Amino acid sequence: MKVAKFGGSSVASAEQLRKVANIIMEDPERRAIVVSAPGKRNKEDIKVTDLLIEIGEAYCSGESYDEPLAQVLARFRDITSELGLTDQVLAEIKQDVEKTIASDYSDAFKIDAIKAIGEDSSAKVLSEYLKTLGVEATYLNPKDAGIIVSDQPGNAQLLEESFEHLLKIRDRNEIVVIPGFFGYSKEGKLVTFSRGGSDITGSIVAAGVQADLYENFTDVDSVYCVNPNIVENPKEITSLTYKEMRELSYAGFSVFHDEALIPAFKASIPVCIKNTNNPNGLGTIIVSQKETGENPVVGIASDTGFLSLYVSKYLMNRELGFGRKLLHILEDEGISFEHTPSGIDDMSVIIRESQLPKDKEARVIERIKNELDPDTVYTERGLALIMIVGEGMNSTVGIAEKATSAFSKANVNLEMMNQGSSEVSMMFGIKAAGVDAAVKALYHVFFE
């Protein structure tokens, strides 16, 4: 049995949904299907999820949400009319929005429930469409599938008991179409995963039904060794290990959600990234072990939007508990951190900028000054992280030298470098303005 997840670009229009239906019908093993909300049809388009968020936010700030709601309805009307389906889903969307708004949920849970309508409606539309083609297919809501999650709005975490529920899907004699991106808390509240989270649902379902393969259909032929929006026509990656893909997607390969690998990895299910527009292409396969190729580096990923919180104090190395106290302040303020490079008398904490808005920053700095008595404390915003990834890297001499020569050729100053903390990657911190030039230079030295 295979689980196939179709991303936003694959369900963005009637034309794309026809391709999806053909892919499903081509292989009888594709019995559990997970879908995203309609994504962009072209560069200027707006994702349905973004329109739904606009509805939720407009409601919360007391403004009219008529315009984004009309746009959501228009997106689905285009799809249903072109596929010759009824417009029942349009009435359901309106009802769901109204019901959510009238509920006694907090704003955060209301936004989650509205945000999920895109995936939910996609699944209803696809299952209806498959039925018109004579395929036995049923829409399966995550609550009925048993996807139980923590009650953290916009950032749900799966609860283990879900796997036992999902296993029952194996016994069904029909194709099930499950909306991605959300589950339900134990109290029955709808909670979404973080953005891009339909990949997570796909992986959870694959692990739950003990699938032979998790196929993730998107709009590119494979995972490329560098973001194709930075380097034109980069080399394709045919196979990757879970570890490599986890690091690459964490560090910016948005083609696959970084948290989506864990369920498939734990259940040893291979993941295949394929193109809905070219389903016969080989795609990229992600497995536990692969033969190491000639090049120890498999990919270069980058992401912006980081800041560094720098703290120095003479004899920090002798002060018991300094690091713990610093991280405790962050924990106390509800801030998660990414990395902590440190020296003898200094420590930096790398944090996503979204975690530390300016008002919170002022409070954190004040607390550090009062509670830790440092010599210096400041933040530096606008940083980018670049990660070079490959299983063979730690046994190859000269990778760091090659990388630093690339930064130097691109005239990009290194703010931070972290080698050895991870077995399969090397990380560099630079100013965000230099990120594209640095990635291009690194691609040149490692792949051209």
Ligand X SMILES: N[C@@H](CC(=O)OP(=O)(O)O)C(=O)O
Residues at the site binding ligand ADP, with contacts judged by CB under 6 A:
7-10, 36, 39, 196, 218-220, 223-224, 227-229, 253-255
Name which of residues 1 to 20 contact ligand X (CB under 6 A).
7-8
For residues 238 and 196, is the Cβ–Cβ distance under 8 A?
no
Taking the complex as a whole, the smallest distance from the CB of residue 254 to ligand X amounts, in Å, to 8
* 299 marked as part of a ligand binding site: no
Within a 10 A sphere around the Cβ of 25, how many other Cβ atoms? 14
Residue 216 burial (10 A CB sphere; 0-12, 13-18, 19+): buried
Q: Is 121 in the site for ligand X (CB under 6 A)?
A: no
Return the one option of ligand ADP, ligand X, none that residue 227 interacts with (CB less than 5 to 8 A, by type): ligand ADP
Taking the complex as a whole, the smallest distance from the CB of residue 19 to ligand X amounts, in Å, to 15
CB within 8 A of 95, min separation 6: which ones?
A: none
- When the beta carbons of 199 and 391 are compared against ligand X, the nearer one is 199
- Judged by CB under 6 A, the residue of 181, 253, 306, 443 near ligand X is 181
Q: Is 429 in the site for ligand X (CB under 6 A)?
A: no
Q: What are phi and psi of 257, to 5 degrees?
A: -65, 135
CA distance 82 to 305: 40
Taking the complex as a whole, the smallest distance from the CB of residue 182 to ligand X amounts, in Å, to 9
**Structure token digits, residue 42:** 């072209």
Q: Is 198 in the site for ligand X (CB under 6 A)?
A: yes
Taking the complex as a whole, the smallest distance from the CB of residue 273 to ligand X amounts, in Å, to 12
- When the beta carbons of 192 and 379 are compared against ligand X, the nearer one is 192
Return the one option of ligand X, ligand ADP, none that residue 80 interacts with (CB less than 5 to 8 A, by type): none
CA distance 348 to 371: 17
Among the residue ranges 189-197, 241-249, 285-293, 302-310, the one whose residues contact ligand X (CB under 6 A):
189-197
CA distance 263 to 196: 16
* 8 marked as part of a ligand binding site: yes
Q: What are phi and psi of 398, to 5 degrees?
A: 95, 5
CA distance 303 to 259: 16
CB within 8 A of 224, min separation 6: which ones?
A: 234, 235, 236, 237, 299
- Judged by CB under 6 A, the residue of 165, 195, 352, 402 near ligand X is 195
Residue 384: C-alpha distances to residues 66, 163, 257, 330 (Å): 38, 37, 19, 21
Name which of residues 28 to 67 contact ligand X (CB under 6 A).
36-37, 39, 47, 49
Residue numbers belonging to the annotated binding site for substrate: 49, 119
Could you list the residues that contact ligand X (CB under 6 A)?
7-8, 36-37, 39, 47, 49, 118, 180-181, 195-199
